[in-house]
Amino acid sequence: MKLKDKVVVVTGGVRDIGRAVSLKLAAEGAKLAINYYGSEEQALSLRQELAASGTHAVILKGDMTKQSDVDQLVNQAVDELGGKIDGLVNVVGGLVQRKTLDEMDEEFFDKVVKLNLNSTFLSVKAVTPHMSEGSSILNFASQAGRDGGGPGASAYATSKGAVMTFTRAMAKELGPKGIRVNSLCPGMISTTFHDTFTKDEVRSNVANGTPLRREGNSEEVADTVSYMLSDEASFLSGVNLDINGGLIFS
């Protein structure tokens, strides 16, 4: 069990990739503080599954773009799971809606940036006072942060590119304290994100253009998260790791 008795905070941890991450970290022995916002049924289902497996978990509703909600999650994690935090996984984020430059206004652009970048900043800032040497932070960027994203995704791509740069900056700033900071850049992963925002023919074209000739799945991402948080990745920091089946290379 790579993460036995480690305390890990997972934002956006009850559906799709987040759910797979929570279950994988639990299987590796972690104690979890899991955030969700609009997924009540999924949160209840996950709570029951984790309880049945004997995992010590706090599952709390909150808006990770609000400092007060972030602080509540972190404080509850510290209070209920042992007075420290060993890991943070920032899954929270989203595209919101596909909009071209002509269709966007400042309010929409700010909303997307706040969801993806500000939530990451707030969570990292909140957990680091409770971290010590050997702790690890893993942010979620995106392939869109590397290539600009698909049609109508410029705000999303811009915010995820900023997450990548923030990750590098934090790796430099927190490294002397023994805290590693990395990010994942998923490509086409089979989730409700793409069910909602990506046309079937586009998904098929992307999968066929990928060297592995398929989409990825949430469990594959979760396996990578587990590795990046573990001591097996102890000399990896400042890495924006692609997970896209070989579609693009950094």
- Angle at CA 2, nearest 5°, toward 30 and 188? 85
pLDDT digits (tens, 9 = 90+) for 29-74: 999 999 999 889 999 999 999 999 999 999 999 999 999 999 999 9
Query: Confidence class of residue 83 from pLDDT cuts 50, 70 and 90?
Result: very high
For residue 159, what are the contacts with CB-CB under 8 A and spacing of at least 6? 93, 112, 113, 115, 116, 117
Starting from the edge strand earliest in sequence, which strands make up the sheet with 240-243, in order? 57-61, 31-36, 7-11, 87-90, 136-140, 180-186, 240-243
pTM of the model: 0.95
pLDDT digits (tens, 9 = 90+) for 197-211: 778 888 899 889 999
pLDDT digits (tens, 9 = 90+) for 191-243: 877 778 778 888 899 889 999 999 999 999 999 999 999 999 999 999 999 99
- pLDDT at residue 195, as a whole number: 79
Q: DSSP readout, 110-171?
A: HHHHIIIIIHHHHHHHHHGGG--TT-EEEEE--THHHH--STT-HHHHHHHHHHHHHHHHHH
Task: Answer yes or no: 156 catalytic.
Answer: yes
Contact 226, 25 (CB under 8 A): yes
pLDDT digits (tens, 9 = 90+) for 91-134: 999 999 999 999 999 999 999 999 999 999 999 999 999 999 99
Going along the chain from its start, the domains and CATH numbers come out as 7-243 (3.40.50.720)
- pLDDT at residue 250, as a whole number: 78
- pLDDT at residue 164, as a whole number: 98
Mean pLDDT of the chain: 96
